[in-house]
Amino acid sequence: MGKKSSFKKIIILVTILALPGFLYYLLQEKGKNRYRPLDIYGPKQVAMTFHTKRGEKIPDTIYHQIRDFKLLSSTGDSIGIPTDSNQIVVVNFFFTNCKSFCPEMNSQMARVVAEYPNNKMLQFYSISVDPKHDTPGILQAYSEKLKADPKRWHFLTGSRDFIFELAKRDFLVDAFVDSADTANIIHSSMLILIDRDKRIRGYYDSASKDQINKLIDEIKVQITEELREATSLSKK
């Protein structure tokens, strides 16, 4: 009995000593995985400048960025993105006469907006690819049906040629007139996450609720990254 009792005591002691190290490992590794910065999408190139990490000079990277642009909102205001916001932005392309996935896409956008009702770091933009029909008045009526908060979720219109180019060149998604049916416009079903530096951080298919759940989670990751960067800059 004495030997068994001593053996049990040794096992308990080893477990107690090992537990803090194991918990530290979990916190470190799981923390790194959970808050790993999101990917940056689009073309990139090596810059001529460098930054230092652990004493080593590492070339900087120039990432694809969304240009500053202005469009007309449903309230008749000229709104600049991302200049006027300086915020994390979620963008999609749609049109009000769309009979395919647009209603579900904006329903999913509404769900994302509702997850962050008071967060001032976020803004949401739905850009019409059919500006000839989607005047500010039409967009206003459409936004009211969705009960969209005009201070947070903006419906935008402008020149069709510019919007088509903007979708392709800046947001890297398609938007063009259907050659088989000129009354139809083919465009992306993606919700696109943009950071404060105007870089694309994610694409999320509005046809998949799992993808939209992922967007909701990854917005939290992006908010964490932005707050960390702001804290780091304030300490310099």
Pair (231, 183) in one structural domain: yes
Q: Cβ atoms within 10 A of the Cβ of 116, count?
A: 18
| Counted domains in the chain | 2
Model confidence at 222: pLDDT above 90: yes
Contact in structure between 212 and 108 (CB atoms under 8 Å) = yes
63 versus 29: the higher-pLDDT residue is: 63
Pair (3, 101) in one structural domain: no
Mean pLDDT of 188-200: 96
Model confidence at 152: pLDDT above 90: yes
Tokens at residue 92, please?
Answer: 């999609």
Pair (28, 141) in one structural domain: no
Pair (2, 82) in one structural domain: no
Pair (227, 121) in one structural domain: yes
Looking at the whole model, is its pTM more than 0.85?
A: no
Model confidence at 126: pLDDT above 50: yes
Contact in structure between 111 and 212 (CB atoms under 8 Å) = yes
How far apart (Å, rounded) are the C-alpha atoms in residues 42 and 113? 25
Residue 230 has what pLDDT?
74
Pair (20, 77) in one structural domain: no
**Where residue 154 sits, what CATH number does that domain have?**
3.40.30.10
Closest CA to 71 of 49, 93, 40: 93
Pair (157, 99) in one structural domain: yes
Mean pLDDT of 102-130: 96
Pair (77, 154) in one structural domain: yes
Residue 22 has what pLDDT?
46
**pLDDT band of 28, cuts 50, 70, 90:** very low
Q: Cβ atoms within 10 A of the Cβ of 42, count?
A: 13
Pair (80, 176) in one structural domain: yes
Model confidence at 1: pLDDT above 70: no
Q: Is residue 215 part of a domain?
A: yes
Maximum Cα–Cα distance across the chain = 90
Model confidence at 5: pLDDT above 50: yes
Model confidence at 66: pLDDT above 90: yes
| Domain limits for position 223 | 69-235
Q: Is residue 56 part of a domain?
A: no
Residue 75 has what pLDDT?
92
Residue 164 has what pLDDT?
98
Compute the CA torsion angle 115, 117, 123, 124 (nearest 10 deg). 60
Q: Cβ atoms within 10 A of the Cβ of 87, count?
A: 17
Q: Is residue 30 part of a domain?
A: yes
Residue 182 has what pLDDT?
85
Model confidence at 34: pLDDT above 70: no
16-20, 47-51, 126-130: which is most confident: 126-130
Q: Is residue 170 part of a domain?
A: yes
**pLDDT band of 20, cuts 50, 70, 90:** very low
Pair (9, 82) in one structural domain: no
Q: Is residue 61 part of a domain?
A: no
